[in-house]
Structure 1
Amino acid sequence: MKDFSKNLEDAPILNTGGLSRDMGTVMIVAPHPDDETLGCGALIAHLRAQQAEVWVLFMTSGEASHPNSSAYPPEKLGKLRKNEAVNACKILGVSKDHLIFLDAGDGQLASYSEANNPVVAQLTGIIQQKNIDTLFVPWRRDHHIDHVATNSIIGKAAEDMKLIIAEYPIWLWKKGKPEDWPAEGEILPFRLVTDSVKQKKRKAIEAHVSQTTKLIDDDPEGFTLSPELLEPFLGDYEYFFFPSEAKPAVNISYFDDLYSNDDDPWDFETSPYEQKKYNKTLDAIPERNFKNALEIGCANGVFTALFAPQCKRLLALDLNRNAVESARKRCSHLPQCHFMKWDVANGLPSSDFDIIILSEVAYYFEEEKLQVLFANINDALAPGGILVMVHWTAYVRSYPLTGLQVHEVFAKDYSNLFRLINSERQELYDLVVWEKQ
C-alpha cells in the first residue's frame, strides 16, 4: 500500500542477539539461487554466527535466467547457479550438506500449486524431517510467478504444522504495484539490522556471478541484477513480514519450567539492558507518593525493590510460586511490599489502586483475554491513577502477541478514558504511561 513504506521505517527490530532462540531451526525457501542471499543473507549470517541450524531449500536451479544463451544452455546454467548458491551459502555460514535443491523447474512452479501435487507432499516430508520451527518464504504478492507460487506451495506443504511462516520481499521493492504491498493488519513487519554481517552479505551476493556480472554475454535479454535492483538489499536492514494471526496463550507450565532451575531466567538482576529499562521506566513515572500500587508480573522482584520507595503500599503479583518467594526474599527489608501468587487472567485481587505496573506480561495473553485484563485494570484504577506498560517489541514465536500489539489494543479501546502522558520507543521495547481521566 502507498503508506506501507512508513510502516517499514517504524517497524520493530528483531532481537539480533537472540535470533537463534526466537527462530529455532530455520529453513529459507528460495525460488531461485540468489533469492536466499538477497532477502535473507543477513538473517542467515546472524543465525549461523549463533550456531543455529539453518537449511536452505532451492525450489529451482534458476536455469531459465538467460534463455537465449548458446554458451550457457539451461542444463549448464542450472549447474553453474547451483555452484554459485553453494559458494554464497558457504560465505554466509551454511555448508553444502544443509542445502536442498528441488529442481522443480525455473518458471514452472505455478503448475505445482495444487494441494495433492507430489512436490507439495515431498516438501511436507522435508519440513517434517528437518524439524523446522520457522520457514522464510517469498512474499505472497512478490510480483514474480515463481515467488508467488513458492509461497503458495509452502503454505500447502506446511498447512497442518505448528510452525511460523515468515515472508521476505524481493521483487516487491522495485516491481510491486500499490496493491502488492501488505494491507493494514495483514502482517507484522519487522526489521533486522545487518550491521556486522553487511559485508559478508555483499560478498555472498557477488558469489552469484552469473546474475551480478556480464559473465553470460551472448543473451542481451538475459537477467542481471543491476545496481538499481540490488539497492534494497545492501542497506542497513532486511525486512520480514511475520504472520498477524492469533496464537494460543502461554500456559503456566512455561513459567514453571523457566523457574524450576533458575530464579532469574531473564537475567533481571545482572542484565545491563534490564537495568537501563528499569531506570527509563522509573524516570517515566510521575513523581508522586503512591498510596496503593499494584505490580502485575513482579518476577523475582528486581524492579519491585527499585519502585517500592515511591509507594506507601505495593502489592506485587506473579503466576509462579518460586518467583513470588524470590521476590519476597529480595524485598524483605521493604515493609510496604506485599506479594501474592496470583493469575490475573482470573481478575485482580483488589481495587482502588493509584498506579498499576504492567511490564513484560501482557503479550502472553490472547487478545480476547487481554481485553478482559485491560477492563479489569480500568475498573481497579482510581480516577487520576497511572498505568505504566513496558513490553518487548521483538518477535517471539511462542508469544501470542507482540509488545506493540499489546499497546495498540489498549490505545484503541481506552484512549478516550485515559490520557497519554509519556511514550518512549527504544530499540527492543516500548514504554507508555497513561493517566485515567
Structure 2
Amino acid sequence: MTTARISNCARFAERSIAGGGTPSSAWLGWRRDVESLDLDECPALIVVAPHPDDETLGFGATAASLRMRGVDVTVVAASDGGGAYPGLSPLERRWLERDRRAETELATRMLGLDPPIWLGLPDGELDRHEDALTDVLTEFLSAAAPGSWCAATWRGDGHPDHEAVGRSAAAACAATSSTLLEYPVWMWHWAEPNDADVPWQRMRRPVVDGGCSVRKRHAVNVFRTQLAPFEPGGDPILPPFVVQRLMAVGEMVFL
C-alpha cells in the first residue's frame, strides 16, 4: 500500500543547516493553541527512526514517559547511519555505523528503553526501500497489541529519509488499524510559524512525565558523531542551535 506524497524536500534543501534556519526565538514567541495528547490511551508503542538519533531527538521524552508508565516501547532504527558524512571510505563508513549504533543503544538505555531493532537499510536511500520497510513495520504492528501506536517522522519533514519512513509507517498503520503519530524534526528548521505547508490543525503536544525531558537532554548528548565535526574545522551534522531549538520547542506530533 502506498501513501500520498506530501513532500517538503525542496524547502529543506533551500535552507542550509549551517545557515541556522528559523531560530528558537521565533518559535518561542509564536502563540498557537495546541491540543494535548493523552498518553493514557496508548497500549503499546513502536518508534521508527530514519537514522540512529531521530528516536531521541524527536520522540525521546514521550517514549520514556510511556515506558515509565509500563507501556511496551519498541524502537526501530531503519538505516545504518553510515551516510551522515559524504565521501567516506568503506572502512570509515563501517566505523561510523558502529559508533552510531553504540551511541543509540546508550541513549535508549538512558531513556529506559530496550535496545533498538536494527534494520540496517542504507542511510540516504530509504526512499528506494519503502516497500520493504512498510512490510517490516506491518509485521511488527500486526504482532503488537491491538490499537498500538506507531511514532515515525512526519511525511512532510523535508529530509528524504524522514519522509520515506513517514510514508512507510502511514501505510503500515493503515494496514493494521494502528494509530499513527508523526513527529517533526527538520520542520522546525525550514518552516515558519503558521507556515501554510504545515498541518497545524493536526498538531498535538504529548503530556510527558516529569524528568523525562531532562533524561532526553542527557541522552541527546551521547551522539558525539553528530554533535562534533567529523574532521577538524568541519561542521557537525547537528550544530548546537539545532539541538537547542528542538529542546526549546519540545515534542510535538501530527495525529
TM-score, length-normalised on structure 2?
A: 0.79
In structure 2, the residue matched to 1:314 is: none
Q: Using the alignment, how far apart are the partners of 2:165 and 2:172 within structure 1? A: 10
Matches within 5 A, 1:18-29: 19=39, 21-29=40-48
Matches within 5 A, 1:353-368: none
Aligned AA (1:77): L
Contact 1:139 1:151 in 2 (8 A): yes
Deviation at 1:7, TM superposition (A): 8.6
Q: Using the alignment, how far apart are the partners of 1:104 and 1:189 within structure 2? A: 30
Contact 2:150 2:173 in 1 (8 A): no
Contact 1:138 1:169 in 2 (8 A): yes
1:129 equivalent to 2:143? Answer yes
Contact 2:141 2:176 in 1 (8 A): no
Deviation at 1:74, TM superposition (A): 1.6
Change (3 A) 1:167 1:8: farther
Contact 2:153 2:182 in 1 (8 A): yes
Aligned AA (1:203): H
Deviation at 1:126, TM superposition (A): 2.0
Deviation at 1:69, TM superposition (A): 4.3
SS in 1 for 2:185: coil
Q: Using the alignment, how far apart are the partners of 1:189 and 1:7 within structure 2? A: 16
- Per-residue CA deviations over 1:405-429 (Å, capped at 9, x if unaligned) read xxxxxxxxxxxxxxxxxxxxxxxxx
Deviation at 1:110, TM superposition (A): 1.0
Deviation at 1:210, TM superposition (A): 0.7
TM-score, length-normalised on structure 1?
A: 0.48
- Per-residue CA deviations over 1:133-182 (Å, capped at 9, x if unaligned) read 00111112101000111111122223221211011110000123634311
The two structures, once aligned, show a CA RMSD in angstroms of 2.6
Q: Using the alignment, how far apart are the partners of 2:117 and 2:225 within structure 1? A: 20
Q: Using the alignment, how far apart are the partners of 1:123 and 1:201 within structure 2? A: 25
Residue 212 of structure 2, aligned match among 172, 175, 197: 197
Matches within 5 A, 1:157-236: 157-176=172-191, 178-182=195-199, 185=201, 187-193=202-208, 195-214=210-229, 216-217=230-231, 220=234, 223-235=236-248
Deviation at 1:188, TM superposition (A): 4.2
In structure 2, the residue matched to 1:59 is: 78
SS in 1 for 2:175: coil
In structure 2, the residue matched to 1:275 is: none
Deviation at 1:36, TM superposition (A): 0.5
Q: Using the alignment, how far apart are the partners of 2:89 and 2:143 within structure 1? A: 40
Deviation at 1:72, TM superposition (A): 6.5
In structure 2, the residue matched to 1:10 is: 33
Higher strand share goes to which structure?
1
Change (3 A) 1:219 1:57: farther
Q: Using the alignment, how far apart are the partners of 1:111 and 1:5 within structure 2? A: 37
Q: Using the alignment, how far apart are the partners of 2:44 and 2:122 within structure 1? A: 27
Contact 2:203 2:252 in 1 (8 A): no
Contact 2:141 2:178 in 1 (8 A): no
1:93 equivalent to 2:112? Answer yes
Aligned length, in residue pairs: 226
Deviation at 1:208, TM superposition (A): 1.2
Residue 252 of structure 2, aligned match among 218, 225, 239: 239
Question: Which of these two proteins has the greater Rg computed from alpha carbons?
Answer: 1
In structure 2, the residue matched to 1:79 is: 98
- Per-residue CA deviations over 1:106-128 (Å, capped at 9, x if unaligned) read 11111123xxx333222211221
SS in 1 for 2:237: coil
1:118 equivalent to 2:132? Answer yes
Change (3 A) 1:9 1:72: farther
Aligned AA (2:84): S
Matches within 5 A, 1:279-290: none
Contact 1:191 1:237 in 2 (8 A): no
Change (3 A) 1:236 1:179: closer
Change (3 A) 1:219 1:5: closer
Q: Using the alignment, how far apart are the partners of 1:200 and 1:38 within structure 2? A: 12
- Per-residue CA deviations over 1:236-255 (Å, capped at 9, x if unaligned) read 7321111xxxxxxxxxxxxx
Q: Using the alignment, how far apart are the partners of 2:197 and 2:210 within structure 1? A: 29
Change (3 A) 1:128 1:70: same
Structure 2: gaps (5+ residues): 1-26
Q: Using the alignment, how far apart are the partners of 2:111 and 2:101 within structure 1? A: 15
Q: Using the alignment, how far apart are the partners of 1:120 and 1:241 within structure 2? A: 19
SS in 1 for 2:138: helix
Structure 1: gaps (5+ residues): 243-437
Aligned-residue sequence identity (percent) comes to 27
Q: Using the alignment, how far apart are the partners of 2:95 and 2:47 within structure 1? A: 25
Aligned AA (2:60): G
